[in-house]
Structure 1
Amino acid sequence: MTSAPEQSISTPPRLTERLREVGVQARQDRNTALFALAGEVPAVLLARMLAIHVTIAVQSTRRCRRLDHLHTDIAHRQHITPPPTE
């Protein structure tokens, strides 16, 4: 299935059900992928790629950065080297 960048991609309910039956949690996996992407690309590009409002993309990017800072802070407190960032 191919969709234009302007179109929203949604998962049909039956597909979600079938994926869940085999152990795939579509929403959780989607959110994880979105979060990773938000940490890799600028918010404007994220908004265009996913056809979401730029405000949502900015919020996602900020959340990703805050969580990254939190992980780094915890690692310093525990004297653990944080995972490398690219």
Structure 2
Amino acid sequence: MGMQVYQNTHFKVYRSEDGFVIHNIDKGFENGHTHVQKYDTCMVLIKLLINKKAPKSKSRYFLESLLRLCDDEGYRQQIQQLLMRVQ
């Protein structure tokens, strides 16, 4: 894993060869991280997770990334419902 470029109370962001890795430090790395290409996407994901807001994006990968990082059951269910509509 690359150099850490951001950290807050619940998340760390690392630079990787092909973009960035976001890790929810309240979850184990195996089940609590995702890969994205842009730093701005990292910040959007983190902001949505902190505020428990529904994303504007209907991208399957984006929604799955939220699920991997999420540790709130109510918010997880909200994202799963959005994901079912995309499928």
Instruction: Compute the TM-score of the two structures, normalised by the length of structure 2.
Output: 0.29
- Which one has a larger percent helix, Structure 1 or Structure 2? 1
- Which one has a larger percent strand, Structure 1 or Structure 2? 2
